[in-house]
Amino acid sequence: MSRIATTEKTQEYLERYINGVKKRNPGETEFHQAVYEVAQSIFPYIADKPHYHEQQIMERLAEPDRVISFRVCWADDNGNIRVNRGYRVQNNNAIGPYKGGIRFHPSVTQSVLKFLAFEQTFKNSLTGLPMGGGKGGADFNPKGKSDSEVMRFCQSFITELYRHIGEDTDIPAGDIGVGAREIGYMFGQYKRITNRFVGVLTGKGLEFGGSLIRTEATGYGTVYMLENMMQHAGNSVDGKTVAISGSGNVATYAAEKVIQLGGKVVTLSDSSGFVYDSEGIDTEKLAYVIDLKTVKRGRISVAAEEFPSMEFHEGKRPWAASVDVVLPCATQNEISTDDATKLLSNGLIAVSEGANMPTEIDAIKAFQAAGVLYAPSKAANAGGVAVSGLEMSQNSARISWSEDELQKLLSSTMKDIHDKCVQYGQGENGKVDYLAGANVAGFAKVADAMMAYGVV
Ligand code: NDP
- pLDDT averaged over 10-residue windows placed end to end, the chain, 456 residues: 64 96 98 97 95 96 98 98 98 98 98 98 98 98 96 98 98 97 98 98 98 98 98 98 98 98 98 98 98 96 97 98 97 98 98 98 97 98 98 97 98 98 94 98 98 95
Q: Residue 5 has what pLDDT?
A: 52
> For residue 332, which atom of ligand 1 is closest to its CA?
32
CB atoms within 10 A of CB 172: 28
CB distance 300 to 291 below 8 Å: no
Q: Which CATH number fits domain 66-198: 2.160.10.10, 3.60.15.10, 3.40.50.300, 3.40.50.10860?
A: 3.40.50.10860
Length of the chain: 456
Residue 47 C-alpha to ligand 1 middle, in angstroms?
Answer: 37
Of ligand 1's listed atoms, the one at least distance from the Cα of 268 is 9
DSSP structure class, residue 130? S
Residue having the nearest C-alpha atom to atom 31 of ligand 1: 355
**Would you say 277 and 259 are in contact if contact means Cβ atoms under 8 Å apart?**
no
- Domain spanning 216-380: CATH 3.40.50.720: yes
Q: Is 26 helix (H, G, I), strand (E, B) or coil?
A: coil
For residues 36 and 49, give the distance between their C-alpha atoms in angstroms, rounded to a whole number.
19
Q: Among 271, 299, 313, 417, name the best residue to mutate to test ligand 1's pocket (greatest count of ligand atoms within 8 A of Cβ).
A: 271
110 in contact with ligand 1, CB cutoff 6 A:
no
What is the whole-number distance in angstroms between the Cα of residue 351 and the centre of ligand 1? 17
How many angstroms separate the alpha carbon of residue 449 from the centre of ligand 1? 32
Number of helices (H) and strands (E), helices first, in the chain? 17, 12
Distance from C-alpha of 296 to C-alpha of 404, rounded to nearest angstrom: 30
Catalytic residues: 135
Q: Domain limits of the chain? A: 3-61, 66-198, 216-380
**Phi then psi for 47, rounded to 5 degrees?**
-55, -35
383 lines ligand 1 (CB under 6 A): no
Ligand 1 centroid from CA 357, angstroms: 12
How many Å apart are CA 245 and CA 260, to the nearest integer? 18
Residue nearest to atom 41 of ligand 1 (CA): 175
Index of the ligand 1 atom closest to the CA of residue 382: 43
Ligand 1: residue whose CA is nearest its atom 28: 330
pLDDT score of 7: 84
pTM of the model: 0.96
Q: What pLDDT, on a 0 to 100 scale, did the predictor assign at position 204?
A: 98
CB of 354 closer than 6 angstroms to any ligand 1 atom: yes
3-state secondary structure of 239: coil
Residue 367 Cα to ligand 1 middle (Å)? 23
Which amino acid is residue 312, in one-letter code? F
Burial of 87 (0-12, 13-18, 19+ CB in 10 A): buried
Which residue is closest in CA terms to ligand 1's atom 13? Answer: 330
Do the two domains 66-198 and 216-380 of this chain adopt the same fold?
yes
Position 434, amino acid: Y
CA 259 to ligand 1 centroid distance, Å? 20
Name the residue with the closest Cα to ligand 1, atom 23: 176
Indicate whether residue 292 lines ligand 1 (CB < 6 A): no
Q: Where is 396: in which H helix or E strand?
A: helix 382-397
How much is the pLDDT for 6?
A: 64
